[in-house]
Structure 1
C-alpha cells in the first residue's frame, strides 16, 4: 500500500494581473503595486494547524499593518491551542485523552457546536467523531495494509456525533469516542483572522490558513482571484474563481491518500469507515470559513446530488464538484 501525503488543501492564489501571489514570493511582488495605491503591504507566513499559513495585508500605514498581522497570527495560535490535534497539549487533545473537559475554551466549543449541527443537517455524512477511523487507517497504512473487516466494524461502532455532549459547563465523550475538528478548524481560524483584520480597519487582505478568505482587493486595485488545483495534477490550476471574496475550501482525495489510485484517503464515510468513491474534489465558497470548510467535507461524503442539495440550503454558499473520472 502506498500512502501519499501533501499539505492539505493547498491551492494557488492568482494575482489579478496573472502573477502568482504565494507566500514564497514574499512581499516584493506586491510593494510596487501597493505603492501606486498609497498602501503599505506585508505578507507573513508560518506553520500552523498542520499546514503552511500566510496572510497578506494592505493598509495606509505600515505600523498598523504589522500590528494587525501580529494580532492575526495570535488568533491562529489561540485556535491551535484550543482545537488542533497537531498540538498534543491542545484542549481538544486533552479532551480525547480524558473523555471530559470542564469549562471548555470557547475556541473549542464554537467549532465543535458547528460540527455537531452540521452532522445533524447532513444526516451524519459530516461527523467530528471519525478520529478512530483516521487512527485505524493511518496505522494500517504504516504497515502497508488496509484495515481488516473486524477492525473496521469496531472503529465504526465508536463513531457517532450523538456520542458527544457539549455545553459551556463541559464537553463529554462516550467511552471509545474521539473527536477531530480537522474538517472545520482551518476555516474557523480563517474566520478569526478576518475578524481581527476587520476590527483593525484592514480593508484589503488575503488569508490562507489551509482554507482561504479574501476581503477588499489585490494591491493593484483589481479583485482577488483564486486558482483551484487539478486533483490529478495538484500543481496545475484547473479553474479560477474570479472575483474571489469571502471564503473558500476544497476537500479532495489527493491531500492524504492511503492508496495509489486515491480510492482510500483521509475523508471517511462515517457509516462505512471507508472513503467515498464518487468524487475527486469538492470546493465550496461561503460567507464564513466554518461553512466553507465543513460543507466541502460533507458534500464529498454525500456525493454530487445530495451534496449540492445540502450546500443549497445554506444562504450565500456555492459548490463545485470534480468527479473521479
Structure 2
C-alpha cells in the first residue's frame, strides 16, 4: 500500500493505493493541486475565479473552471436554487460578522440583489455575468471536484484501486485488499472528533456537510456558515449533518451543502425521487435526541 499526504486548499489530503511497483505520485499530485488553486481558489487574488469576480467576463485558461460551472448549474436546477455558488457576498458578510461581532443582518436584502446563478452565463470557452458585482464561490464543491481530478489522474496511471480524500471529501475505487472494502468514518455532531458510524465503500464518492462546527451566536440567535442563498441566513434546523454518496465527489459535495440549506424534511422528500443518490442524515428530534436516517441503498454498508 502506497500512502501519500500533504496540505492543499487550506486543509489536508490523504491518498492510498495498492501498487506492485510502489510508484509515488506525490510530485505530480501536488502540481495538480497548485494548478487547481490557480484556477478556483477565492483566496488567491490572481486565480481565474478571482479575476472573473473583478471583471464582467473571463475566457477559461485551465480545464477546471468549466466542469465546475456545469455541475453548479445542474445542482442549482435540481435543488431549485438551494445550491447557488453566487452566494459569496453573503458568506463574506457572515465571516465578517463572526469575526467582528458587528450586526450584519440589516444588509442582507441589499446583498441578495447580487445573489442568483441566473446572472451567470457560460459555455465551454468562457463565462460572463449579466449583472454587475455578482461573484462566484466554488468552496461548496471545489474540494469534491479536486478529489475527482486526482482520482482520474490515478486511473490514467493504471490504478484500479485507490482512496482519495481531500478535506473530508473522498472517492474510492476497487478494494483495499482482496475481499476488504475501504472503510470511512462519519463524525458524531454531538461529539466532534468522535465517530457516529462507519461505512464500507467501493466505486463511489462520499462527502459530509454540517453546521455544528462553524457557527456563532449573537443576540440570542445562531448563525451557521452554510448560508441559504434565498434568505441570506442560516437558521437552525433539526438536520445537523448530511453525508451524501454519489458516483463522483463533486456531486456528493454539492448536494451535501444543499441538503443543509434545505433542512431535514425537504431533504428526505428530495431523496425519495433521486435514487441515484444515497445519504446518511443525522438530526435531533423533538426530544433533543440524536437520531439518524439512511437511504435504502446505503443501509447495508453502514456499521
Q: Which TM-score band (shorter chain)?
A: 0.7 to 0.9
Tell me the CA shift for residue 276 of structure 1: 3.9
CA offsets per residue over residues 101-142 of structure 1, 9 Å max, x none? Answer: 124533011111211221111110000000000111111222
The residue number in structure 1 matching 2:197 is 239
1:168 to 124, 134, 145: 124
CA offsets per residue over residues 121-167 of structure 1, 9 Å max, x none? Answer: 11100000000001111112221134132x11111121111011112
Tell me the CA shift for residue 66 of structure 1: 0.8
**Alpha-carbon separation, structure 1, partners of 2:272 and 2:66:** 26
2:7 to 41, 47, 52: 47
**Alpha-carbon separation, structure 2, partners of 1:56 and 1:263:** 39
The residue number in structure 1 matching 2:147 is 190
**Alpha-carbon separation, structure 2, partners of 1:188 and 1:215:** 16
1:139 to 90, 96, 103: 96
**Alpha-carbon separation, structure 2, partners of 1:319 and 1:131:** 26
Matched, 1:212 2:190: no
Structure 1 residues 54 and 305: CA distance shift in structure 2, 3 A: same
The residue number in structure 1 matching 2:267 is 307
The residue number in structure 2 matching 1:290 is 250
Structure 1 consecutive aligned stretches of length 4 or more whose deviation exceeds 6 Å: none
**Alpha-carbon separation, structure 1, partners of 2:55 and 2:204:** 37
Matched, 1:275 2:275: no
Q: Is the 8 A contact 2:224 2:236 kept in 1?
A: no
- Structure with more relative contact order (C-alpha pairs < 8 Å, separation 6 or more): 1
Tell me the CA shift for residue 308 of structure 1: 3.2
The residue number in structure 1 matching 2:301 is none
For 1:1-325, list aligned pairs within 5 A: 41-62=1-22, 65-67=23-25, 69-149=26-106, 151-173=107-129, 174-210=131-167, 211-219=169-177, 222-259=180-217, 263-278=222-237, 279-324=239-284, 325=288
Q: Where does the alignment leave 5 or more consecutive residues of structure 2 unmatched?
A: 289-303
**Alpha-carbon separation, structure 2, partners of 1:311 and 1:160:** 24
TM-score by length of 2: 0.86
User: What root-mean-square deviation, in Å, do the aligned CA atoms of Structure 1 and Structure 2 show?
Assistant: 2.1
- Match of 1:234, SS state, is coil
